[in-house]
Amino acid sequence: MMRTVAYAAWMLAAIAVAIVRREAAWCCVAGAIGLFAQAVEARAWRRAAGGLAFANLLTLARLALVAGLPWHLGWLPRWGFVALVVSLLVLDGVDGRVARARGETSAFGASLDMETDALTVMVLTLLLFTRDAFGPWVLVAGLWRYVFVLAATLAPALGDAPPSRLYRSIFGVVMIALACAFVPWAPVALTAAAFGTTLVSFSFLHSIWRSRALRPRFRGGARP
């Protein structure tokens, strides 16, 4: 838990620098360093039973692509960049399927996948803010994860809601929306970015509501 909190604080500091300097690379480098360091510590490339953990290796490959997004945006045509963002969503689905098929599911693998998802959203929103002149509101979608982690440290009941498939479905739609936010047509881009931001906000607010709704059951000793 403390590692997750420390990483969230580390990321918020890097995001602040990225916003002030209007350069998303600061966030990319900080996220890659933090997550690759955790992967090395956990020896994430090895299965507990021996052999390579292909699912985690796929997630780390996706992380490397996410870390390079500011540079890819600089040389790829816009439609090429949109295709790259969509391919990240496809890879996100592939590593989970590989983990289940090969019996490689683990707490660290799930955490690495979730943090890579969060970094992806944060980097994309920073790019929209720093390079496409979107207002600061677009950063809300990326900031939710890191702020929520710190808030749950102060109020642990916020994190009581169990995982839901709804949030995975929402993430897929959010990624498509953020990909569309980079199309070279302002009305579509603005609508897509606003839609993605609204969806992310809904998912976190819904999780908080579920935590509050479940609290009386937890007090009574029953957990879902």
Look up residue 180 and give its two tokens.
């569309």
pLDDT per position in the chain (224 positions), as tens? 678 999 999 999 999 999 999 999 999 999 999 999 999 998 888 887 667 899 999 999 999 999 999 999 999 999 999 999 999 999 999 998 999 898 888 989 999 999 999 999 999 999 999 998 899 999 999 999 999 999 998 888 777 677 778 888 999 999 999 999 999 999 999 999 999 999 999 999 999 888 877 665 544 443 33
DSSP 162: P
Q: What is the DSSP string of 77-132?
A: -HHHHHHHHHHHHHHHHHHHHHHHHTT---HHHHHHHHHHHHHHHHHHHHHHHHHS
Decide: 91 and 97 in contact? Cβ < 8 Å: no
Give the C-alpha separation, 91 to 54, whole Å. Answer: 12
DSSP string, 166-221: HHHHHHHHHHHHHHHTTSS-HHHHHHHHHHHHHHHHHHHHHHHHHHHHHHHHHHTT
| Domains identified in the chain and CATH numbers | 2-216 (1.20.120)
